[in-house]
Structure 1
Amino acid sequence: MSTETENEGPKVDVVDDAPSLLGKGGHGGVGDAVRSYLQRVRGGDMGPLPAVGGLVVLVVIFAAANPLFLTERNIANLFTQAAPLVTLGMALVFVLLLGEIDLSAGVTFGVAMGVFVKLTQPGGMSWPLALLLALGIGVAVGGFIGFFVARIGVPSFVVSLGLFLGLQGVMLVIIGAGGTYRLIPSPIRAIQNQNLPPWAGWTMLAVVLGVLYAVALLDRRRREKSGAPNPPATIMYAKLGVIAVLGAFVVFYLNQDRGTAARSLEGVPIVVPLVLLILMVGTYVLDRTRFGRYIYAIGGNTEAARRAGVNVTLVKWSAFVVCSVLAVVAGIFTVSKVGSADAAMGREIVLSGVAAAVVGGVSLFGGRGRLVHAVIGATVIAVITNGMGLLKFSAGANLAVTGGVLVLAATVDALARKRSGATGV
């Protein structure tokens, strides 16, 4: 829902839809909040609810079918497998919220990682400088797409598809057909192959809960100061409680020894706090900055946002840059996991990234969705891949199931928008 003020331009209320929960200036209770939520669901605004339900069903099915699915080793492996897809899904949210798309995000990180790995071969430059150059490639590609989309008016599908094809040629020039570079700097390899000490996992959980609690309190104080109604404090504590319980379960589980008799292996993978940091910073940007509010406003109604004084060109341009840079970060996680870069890197994952966002509840039509929805959707896809792999299904069957889930999610999104328009929610 977007609003408009005289000095700041359009805004998007992203704080749990408090006015609809409590009524104007009210102090409703938990019952009012639950009834309001159910009303939104009946009106078509289901958010990530279908993805969460599907995730629970998938976990139950795979756990029943194969006892190895819920072992400490496989859960840790699931987190590291999902990290690149989760990050790429979050990257694509920034452009999907605008009603745009970036089909080149995967090959963008492929080119960036090809340059990075080639430059860090023995006798090459230091890995921090090479990493900055790789991130610079993300900035350049995002700026290129943003220029043609925002300034020239070329559809993002066409521009990014052109780059999807063209950057594959660049990869062949950099690495060569069938070529592979393997010597990844040890600090980069550690991201996906090393773990935090057990105590650091608990510290990470405490920091996350502390930050979420502080942000929630500041948000409530801001709303009180502005005279806006607050949702019940019970809802806030319930959400924190659920996060605390789930987080404690994951940390405890990953802190168990999952190694062999010859080598101990325990702790949360290093990539996990890095993904959480991206999620928290990105969520703050989208939910509580003017840039984020403008993205939602443009995705909801571009012309209305322009007439309200939003620099639509700059916002779109910036969103594509953010998307490409985060795509390069997903590439860092990928080369850390596989230990190499080749000419085919990134060709397929971008479609899975779009699928992750859509499955999680981000609308393809723009204006609706959050970063955490992409995380949930990417987890669904990662669970499908992991579980079907344990059950010895073929890659073809895995792709067929993932494609079916994507079509189902897109159908739910379309029906939800139609129902929302019909009910006026």
Structure 2
Amino acid sequence: MSVNQETVLEHARLKQRPNWFKFDMRAYTMIGALMSIWILFSLLHDRFLSPTNLSNLFLQMSVTSILAIGMVLVIVAGQIDLSIGSIVGFTGGITAMLNVWYEWSTVPVILATLGAGAAIGFVQGWIIAYRAVPAFIVTLGGMLIFRGALFGTTGSVTIAPLTPSLKSIGQSYIGDVIGWVFGIIGLIVAGLLIIRKRRARAKFGFEVEPFAVSMLRLGVIGALIIGFVYLMNSYKGIPVPFVMVIVLALVFTFISRNTTFGRHIYAIGGNPEAARLSGINIKRRILLVFVLCNTLAAVAALVLTARLNAATMSAGQNYELDAIAACVIGGTSLMGGTGTIAGAIIGSLVMASLDNGMSLMNLESFWQYIVKGGILVLAVYLDIYSRQKKKA
């Protein structure tokens, strides 16, 4: 065998070896940007990485994160929703009116608010899916309609205060012991998922990553979980709204990855014509996507209204832009077919970190708009550039 043939065979063997630490440029860039933001603000202000400020940071990001979870599904399906900010304001107004004016108890108020969000999603989704009106137009109209409905139903006045049980949704914390229990459960679940993945690969004949690599992954995850619980317990505990974010993220990650509905959504966004020819009921899937997204907007409204202990006329304003930016920064493509819930959560954390850090620095509010707008444009540019590079 010649030297050239041996070299070719060696290259082929190396190419076939699995890369257990495969480099995902977009994911590492996003995490690197978040770490850079945290390091920069910690150098500029010594309170940024304090337990108190980090607790407030995770509390502040909760509403955007919940909205981003729903927005990921919409964008992955090749649609857009510009109305969720106004839906947050309108359904938050419903929450406060029922609780303060009509003295409804907490559970009926929650059910009514979620029902209102689901009904709005059904109407908007039906117009988009079954009457073929572009989502941009329908939700742009919805943004104006629901903002006006908020002003009309509340008389343009702030409604407060809420009852203590309803207020606790946005202002309470989980105690130290329960926080550590949740942390241990999270670590156990992470270990079980890694074991399940290894067994699944072995079952279907795929090469399994070395055991040491799996343990290293688990060690990194465990360190993050333990560090997070320790920091939160150093202040008041884990904020309840952030626990809601974690639960919703896990549920919708499972839906998007492990259900037929989730696979259909990615197929519709990636290639609508191929999805139609495959027998996917596109209209029904699009309708359900908007129902889920607007229901999550109602969940965000509950959290925001409870945290503020009031329904205000400016509640939810521009939140749709923050949610879209969080999704795009987190790797969701505006072209559809690509995006993850975890990426959107990290994108929300990036946005919240910028807001929090610049507020600590007492920068004028216009700088926050300029910086966030610039990051959004950069994220879209990177998405388009990476797509063009793949095609080339």
What's the TM-score, normalizing by structure 2? Answer: 0.92
Aligned AA (1:54): A
Is residue 138–residue 324 contact of structure 1 (8 Å, CA) maintained in 2? yes
Structure 2 residue aligned with 1:371: 341
CA distance in 2, matches of 1:227, 1:115: 54
Structure 2 residue aligned with 1:166: 145
CA distance in 2, matches of 1:353, 1:101: 11
Is residue 176–residue 343 contact of structure 1 (8 Å, CA) maintained in 2? no
Structure 1 residue aligned with 2:3: none
Task: Note closer, same or farther for the CA distance 1:135–1:236 as it changes in structure 2 (3 Å cut).
Answer: farther
Is residue 187–residue 225 contact of structure 2 (8 Å, CA) maintained in 1? no
**Aligned: 1:321 with 2:308:** no
Aligned AA (1:168): R
Structure 2 residue aligned with 1:33: 20
Equivalent in 189, 195, 203 of residue 173 of structure 2: 195
Alignment of 1:181-330 (within 5 A): 181-228=159-206, 230-256=208-234, 258=235, 266-330=236-300
Shift of 1:235: 4.4
SS state at 2:26 partner: coil
Is residue 146–residue 317 contact of structure 1 (8 Å, CA) maintained in 2? yes
**Aligned: 1:62 with 2:41:** yes
CA distance in 2, matches of 1:244, 1:188: 33
SS state at 1:48 partner: helix
Alignment of 1:340-355 (within 5 A): 340-355=310-325
Task: Note closer, same or farther for the CA distance 1:186–1:231 as it changes in structure 2 (3 Å cut).
Answer: farther
Task: Note closer, same or farther for the CA distance 1:103–1:229 as it changes in structure 2 (3 Å cut).
Answer: farther
Shift of 1:88: 0.9
Give CA deviations for 1:56-79 in whole Å, capped at 9, x if unaligned: 111111000010111111111111
Structure 2 residue aligned with 1:51: 30
Is residue 204–residue 273 contact of structure 1 (8 Å, CA) maintained in 2? no
**Aligned: 1:361 with 2:331:** yes
CA distance in 2, matches of 1:274, 1:375: 12
**Aligned: 1:411 with 2:359:** no
CA distance in 2, matches of 1:289, 1:235: 28
Higher helix fraction (1 or 2) = 2
Aligned AA (1:128): V
Structure 2 residue aligned with 1:99: 78
Task: Note closer, same or farther for the CA distance 1:135–1:123 as it changes in structure 2 (3 Å cut).
Answer: closer
Is residue 47–residue 369 contact of structure 1 (8 Å, CA) maintained in 2? no
Give CA deviations for 1:11-57 in whole Å, capped at 9, x if unaligned: xxxxxxxxxxx999x8x55xx233xx23xx5xxxx333322111111
Is residue 65–residue 344 contact of structure 2 (8 Å, CA) maintained in 1? yes
Superposition CA RMSD, Å: 2.0
Is residue 80–residue 337 contact of structure 1 (8 Å, CA) maintained in 2? no
SS state at 1:67 partner: coil
Give CA deviations for 1:359-411 in whole Å, capped at 9, x if unaligned: 11111111111001111111011000000000010111111111111111111
CA distance in 2, matches of 1:233, 1:279: 28
Give CA deviations for 1:267-286 in whole Å, capped at 9, x if unaligned: 22222222111111110110
Give CA deviations for 1:199-245 in whole Å, capped at 9, x if unaligned: 11111111122223323433443444444555555444333322211
SS state at 1:341 partner: coil
Structure 1 residue aligned with 2:5: none
CA distance in 2, matches of 1:219, 1:23: 24
83-92 or 342-351, larger mean C-alpha shift = 342-351
Is residue 175–residue 342 contact of structure 1 (8 Å, CA) maintained in 2? no
CA distance in 2, matches of 1:146, 1:220: 40
Shift of 1:169: 1.2
Structure 2 residue aligned with 1:138: 117
SS state at 2:179 partner: helix
CA distance in 1, matches of 2:297, 2:83: 9
Equivalent in 62, 66, 73 of residue 87 of structure 1: 66
Percent of residue pairs bearing the same amino acid type: 32
CA distance in 1, matches of 2:14, 2:81: 39
CA distance in 2, matches of 1:87, 1:243: 22
Structure 1 residue aligned with 2:361: 391
Is residue 168–residue 306 contact of structure 2 (8 Å, CA) maintained in 1? yes
Task: Note closer, same or farther for the CA distance 1:103–1:302 as it changes in structure 2 (3 Å cut).
Answer: same
Instruction: Give the count of matched residue pairs.
Output: 380
Is residue 120–residue 184 contact of structure 1 (8 Å, CA) maintained in 2? yes
CA distance in 2, matches of 1:52, 1:101: 25
Is residue 82–residue 143 contact of structure 2 (8 Å, CA) maintained in 1? yes
Task: Note closer, same or farther for the CA distance 1:122–1:63 as it changes in structure 2 (3 Å cut).
Answer: same
Task: Note closer, same or farther for the CA distance 1:150–1:229 as it changes in structure 2 (3 Å cut).
Answer: farther
CA distance in 2, matches of 1:235, 1:101: 39
Structure 1 residue aligned with 2:6: none
Give CA deviations for 1:334-373 in whole Å, capped at 9, x if unaligned: 1122111122221211111111111111111111110011
Task: Note closer, same or farther for the CA distance 1:229–1:145 as it changes in structure 2 (3 Å cut).
Answer: farther
Aligned AA (2:306): S
**Aligned: 1:148 with 2:127:** yes
Structure 2 residue aligned with 1:8: none
313-322 or 236-245, larger mean C-alpha shift = 236-245
